[in-house]
């Protein structure tokens, strides 16, 4: 994108209005749900990051090159990627095909294929605007979870000197700490991370211990009830079986909640139908524009608006507080040090300096 395109997009973005109910949220009241759209915006040079379909196609290609999948199976999965609507099921079948027939998904060739696909991610970061925005919110208490296998956010955050930590749902202690707000720069990967051979699961049954643990499910469901989830770059997330098991189908009275989803508005009829449907889940669908190139700048401007909000815990300016560093308490203390029993009335001169 050249400078003139950026200038045009930013001028369009500045004229857009943001939902007041969203920009007035405190960062600590938000929980970001990061999907493939974020990775696609950050590293457009890696097709596998653009969508679930692209990721599965890249894994199949890697499996063929590494010769860890029979040619007949390669052809069959390529057909499934084109025809099947539920790509998560296709991905799950692909994992099973490259795993032992014992039912145990460890060890498997799927992780080797992902490592081939996502090799040297840090070298492919081209547009870190969205990552900058996410880190800015995390600094102020926003929590982050992702359906992505990649760790682009953690890599970039570490480059910025942040103590980033990748978390897996199978580590109960870490999940509880994260859910209770004790791991400021933790990113929860609900599908696992490509660098961890034991943590990648797409089937909810793989997280049976998690979904049947009342303590873990309690704190996670509480997040969906008490935080405002902001979906960034999420296309298939609400159809994601694990997300549904953890949040969507386990929390009642969703219409009373207030979550948000940023989407591309390619078709008006589809967009407004999606808005109506998502309100039933307590999710407000918001368009960031009709071109994906607008996504990073929209997120940047939205973040700036949210971060402008003053925390209610910040020092409040009392009506008696004066300009500069002088205040009533300081003046009283100073008077006491000078041995004066009763403080004189404090007034402000025309030049804004506190006087007694």
Q: What is the CATH number of the domain that holds 268?
A: 3.40.50
Same domain, 142 and 115: no
How far apart (Å, rounded) are the C-alpha atoms in residues 261 and 284? 6
**More confident: 268 or 51:** 268
- Answer yes or no: are the C-beta atoms of 258 and 224 closer than 8 Å: no
Same domain, 52 and 114: yes
Same domain, 211 and 95: no
Same domain, 135 and 55: no
**In a domain? residue 97:** yes
Asked whether residue 4 carries a pLDDT value surpassing 90, the answer given is: no
Asked whether residue 139 carries a pLDDT value surpassing 80, the answer given is: yes
Same domain, 74 and 87: yes
Same domain, 114 and 246: no
Question: What mean pLDDT comes out for the span 201-226?
Answer: 81
Asked whether residue 284 carries a pLDDT value surpassing 70, the answer given is: yes
Question: What mean pLDDT comes out for the span 153-172?
Answer: 94
For residue 214, the enclosing domain spans: 18-45+126-310
Paired strand residues for 168:
189
**In a domain? residue 190:** yes
Same domain, 140 and 116: no
Own/partner pairs, 67-70, CB within 8 angstroms, 24+ separation = 68/98, 68/109, 68/112, 68/113, 69/97, 69/98, 69/109
- Answer yes or no: are the C-beta atoms of 233 and 295 closer than 8 Å: yes
- Answer yes or no: are the C-beta atoms of 85 and 96 closer than 8 Å: no
How far apart (Å, rounded) are the C-alpha atoms in residues 320 and 330? 12
Number of domains in the chain: 2
**In a domain? residue 152:** yes
Same domain, 156 and 272: yes
Q: What is the pLDDT of residue 97?
A: 86
């Amino acid at each position: 994108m050249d400078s003139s395109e950026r200038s045009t997009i930013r001028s369009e973005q500045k004229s857009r209005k943001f939902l007041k109910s969203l920009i007035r949220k405190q960062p600590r009241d938000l929980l970001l749900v990061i999907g493939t759209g974020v990775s696609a915006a950050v590293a457009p040079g890696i097709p596998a990051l653009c969508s679930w379909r692209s990721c599965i196609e890249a894994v199949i290609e890697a499996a063929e090159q590494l010769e860890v999948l029979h040619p007949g199976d390669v052809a069959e999965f390529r057909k499934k990627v084109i025809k099947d609507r539920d790509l998560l099921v296709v991905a799950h079948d692909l994992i099973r095909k490259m795993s032992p027939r014992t039912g145990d998904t460890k060890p498997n060739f799927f992780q080797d294929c992902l490592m081939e696909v996502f090799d040297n991610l840090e070298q492919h970061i081209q547009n870190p605007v969205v990552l900058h925005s996410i880190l800015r919110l995390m600094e102020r208490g926003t929590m982050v979870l992702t359906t992505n296998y990649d760790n682009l956010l953690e890599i970039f955050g570490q480059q910025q000197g942040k103590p980033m930590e990748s978390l897996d749902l199978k580590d109960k202690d870490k999940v509880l700490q994260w859910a209770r707000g004790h791991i400021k720069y933790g990113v929860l990967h609900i599908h696992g991370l490509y660098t961890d051979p034991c943590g990648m699961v797409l089937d909810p049954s793989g997280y049976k211990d998690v979904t049947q643990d009342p303590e873990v499910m309690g704190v996670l469901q509480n997040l969906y009830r008490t935080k405002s989830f902001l979906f960034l770059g999420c296309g298939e997330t609400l159809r994601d079986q694990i997300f549904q098991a953890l949040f969507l189908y386990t929390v009642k009275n969703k219409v009373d909640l207030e979550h948000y989803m940023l989407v591309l508005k390619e078709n008006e009829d589809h967009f407004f139908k999606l808005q109506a449907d998502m309100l039933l889940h307590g999710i407000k669908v918001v368009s960031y524009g009709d071109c994906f190139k607008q996504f990073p700048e929209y997120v940047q401007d939205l973040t700036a608006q949210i971060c402008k909000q003053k925390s209610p815990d910040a020092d409040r300016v009392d009506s008696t507080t004066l300009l500069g560093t002088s205040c009533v308490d300081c003046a009283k203390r100073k008077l006491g040090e000078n041995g004066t029993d009763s403080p004189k009335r404090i007034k402000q001169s025309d030049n804004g300096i506190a006087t007694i």
